[in-house]
Amino acid sequence: MMRRLNLFLGIPFGPRRFLILLCLLVVAACDRPQVLHKGQWIMGTVVEITWVGSPASNRVIKQAFDAIRAVDNAMNPDKPNSELFRINARAGRGPVTVSPNTCRVTHEGLRIGEETGGAFDITLGPLIRLWGWDTQHPRLPSGEAISVALKKTGLGGVTCDPDTHQVSLKRKGMAIDLGGIAKGFAVDQAAKVLKTGKIDNFIVNAGGDLYASGGPPGRPWRIGIQDPDDSGAIFAVVTLSGRAIATSGDYEHFFIRNHIRYHHILDPATGLPARGLRSVSVLAGTTMEADALATALFVMGRKKAARWLARHTGIQAVLMDDRHRIFASRSLKPQVRWKEKFKQLVTYF
Ligand code: ADP
Ligand code: MG
């Protein structure tokens, strides 16, 4: 007997992580493959894998989680044995040889930095530490301290040789932070493991950085984008298959001082949290790209981001500004549904 099963996977991340809700409407029947689901706490967020198959795929699922953990172990600068820790510890004292993966993510980070006019900047380590965004207790630094930290940043201070896998930081006190790109790369790594393991219909979601392959039987996956003002609600649903979406927002990692919201996405030009937007979701071919570009477009602000997107037609985005106005790529129109109360606020560009 066919049974209609409404499966709503709301994903409660840790207190400081923002989330994307997955809305899956699945027609299930006993003789059809099941939609299964597993979550683990990695990279400071709940990483979730949803897949269509049987519990027999558990071994592959475990390997996919292991792939994500391996990225964290290599690229988390706060882990004393990580490759990032070693790079930063040797700042100003010559190159460090790292794994091909760490070299690749560093290299991609630099490339996206260049391509976004410096809005994405993997050398913000000193500023992120100063603000305490790498801790549970972020703080408001003095203007003077921000100026000092800013002097230790700059994409020109990193060299990264893709052949020898050597990375070096020119000056003492510099530090690489891959927090805006590594999670996306980790999702891609997990997706690769799943595909190799013959799982074709799945979603890997690391705190809102997500890759969707295939779909639940008979339809593409449907992904909800969170309302920045209501952690239990979404403002849009996009359909997705064979592509990634990542969201950067100001609503999970923040503190409020004197009615001003300070959050963890920093403008490399000022060392201060980027202003103007509340949420940016980017759709791209890889999660790594979507992740980094969501951060970069957030920094650019609405106007610059729209101009950048006009020149990069393979990338799509949904932006919400601090007046709740929504701006979306026109090519997304057939693929996106807005929740009723937001419909009037949407402009396509
Ligand atoms: P989340 O970590 O919540 O998924 P993002 O993908 O937007 O959010 O990444 C934000 C993280 O990236 C920050 O915590 C910090 O480590 C780093 N970061 C902050 N500002 C920038 C920036 N302008 N360029 C690159 N990385 C940044
Ligand atoms: Mg990002």
130-175 pLDDT, tens digit per residue, is: 999 999 999 999 999 999 999 999 999 999 999 999 999 999 999 9
The predicted-structure confidence for 274-309, as pLDDT tens digits, reads as follows 999 999 999 999 999 999 999 999 999 999 999 999
CA distance 120 to 81: 26
Q: Which atom of ligand 1 is nearest to the CA of 209?
A: 4
- Residue 329 pLDDT > 90: yes
Q: Is 98 exposed, middle or buried (0-12, 13-18, 19+ CB in 10 A)?
A: buried
Count other C-beta atoms under 10 Å from residue 65's C-beta: 18
Cα 348 from chain centroid (whole Å): 23
Query: Near ion ligand 2, which residues have CB within 5 Å?
Result: 180, 248, 291, 294-295
Q: Which two tokens stand for residue 264?
A: 């963890």
What is the reported pTM? 0.92
What is the mean predicted confidence (pLDDT) over 177-186? 98
Pairing mode, if any, of strands 230-240 and 221-227? antiparallel
pLDDT band at 22 (very low <50, low <70, confident <90, very high): very low
What's the CA-to-centroid distance between 10 and ligand 1, angstroms? 23
For the chain, domain boundaries = 73-169
pLDDT band at 19 (very low <50, low <70, confident <90, very high): very low
What single letter denotes the amino acid at residue 138? P
Count other C-beta atoms under 10 Å from residue 7's C-beta: 14
Q: Is 260 exposed, middle or buried (0-12, 13-18, 19+ CB in 10 A)?
A: exposed
Q: Which atom of ligand 1 is nearest to the CA of 267?
A: 23
Q: Which CATH architecture has domain 73-169?
A: Orthogonal Bundle (1.10)
- Residue 230 pLDDT > 90: yes
CA distance 85 to 77: 5
Please name the residue that has the structure tokens 């006009």: 310
For the chain, first and last CA: distance in Å?
Answer: 46
String of DSSP letters for 164-219? TTEEEESSTT-----TTTHHHHHHHHHHHHHHHTT--SEEEEETTEEEEES-STTS
Longest CA pairwise span in the chain (Å): 69
What's the CA-to-centroid distance between 2 and ligand 2, angstroms? 40
Q: Which helix (H) or strand (E) holds 71?
A: helix 58-75
> What pLDDT does 32 receive?
62
CA distance 296 to 244: 16
pLDDT band at 33 (very low <50, low <70, confident <90, very high): confident
> What pLDDT does 5 receive?
24
Ligand 1: residues with CB < 6 A are 18, 120-122, 124, 128, 133, 177, 179-180, 183, 207-209, 248, 253, 264-266, 268, 291, 294-295, 299
CA distance 321 to 277: 4
Top mutation candidate among 264, 279, 304 for ligand 1, by most atoms within 8 Å of CB: 264
- Which is higher by pLDDT, 337 or 14? 337
Region of 11 please: left (phi>0), alpha (psi -120 to 50) or beta. beta
